[in-house]
């Protein structure tokens, strides 16, 4: 019997993990139409149940890219947990399940 897989990312590593996992959702594009970036899509051989990020600026990066979280999101089977300090101005404070210290 195999166990479940969780993914952990710190700071910009959390953004990279979010991009990687969001690409596994059908129809997701990592960038808005007017934002030029060439990414090769990589599909993971497993479906993580949780993405834990520590101080990750996922929301800020999505705003810079012109993306909407309703259009560019994780697969439904994966929950995002961002752990951050309340006074960190660059982390995702909305649209994610969060813990803070």
Residue-wise pLDDT tens digits, 22-63:
876 655 555 555 555 555 566 777 889 999 999 888 888 888
Give the mean pLDDT of the chain: 76
Q: Work out the pLDDT band at 92, boundaries 50, 70, 90.
A: low
Asked whether the beta carbons of 94 and 80 are under 8 A apart, the reply is no
Report yes or no: 48 and 7 within 8 Å, Cβ to Cβ. Answer: yes
Mean pLDDT for 78-97 is 72
Position 72 confidence tier, pLDDT thresholds 50, 70, 90: confident
Under the banding of pLDDT at 50, 70 and 90, the label for residue 10 is very high
Cβ–Cβ < 8 Å for 97, 81: yes
Phi, psi of 94 (to 5 degrees): -130, 160
Measured CA to CA, the distance from residue 58 to residue 9 in angstroms comes to 11
What number of residues does the chain have?
101
Q: Where are the domains of the chain?
A: 1-27+47-87
Write down the pTM of the prediction: 0.73
The predicted pLDDT at position 97 comes to 45
**Per-residue model confidence (pLDDT) at position 93:** 54
């Amino acid at each position: 019997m195999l166990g479940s897989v969780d993914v952990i990312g710190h700071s910009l590593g959390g953004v990279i993990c979010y991009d990687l996992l969001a690409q596994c959702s059908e129809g997701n594009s990592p960038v808005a139409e007017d934002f030029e970036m060439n990414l090769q899509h990589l599909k993971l051989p497993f479906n993580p149940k949780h993405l834990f990020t520590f101080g990750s600026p996922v929301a800020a990066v999505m705003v810079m890219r012109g993306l909407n979280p309703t259009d560019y999101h994780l697969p439904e089977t994966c929950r995002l947990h961002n752990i951050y300090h309340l006074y960190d101005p660059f982390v995702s404070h909305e649209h994610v399940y969060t813990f803070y210290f």
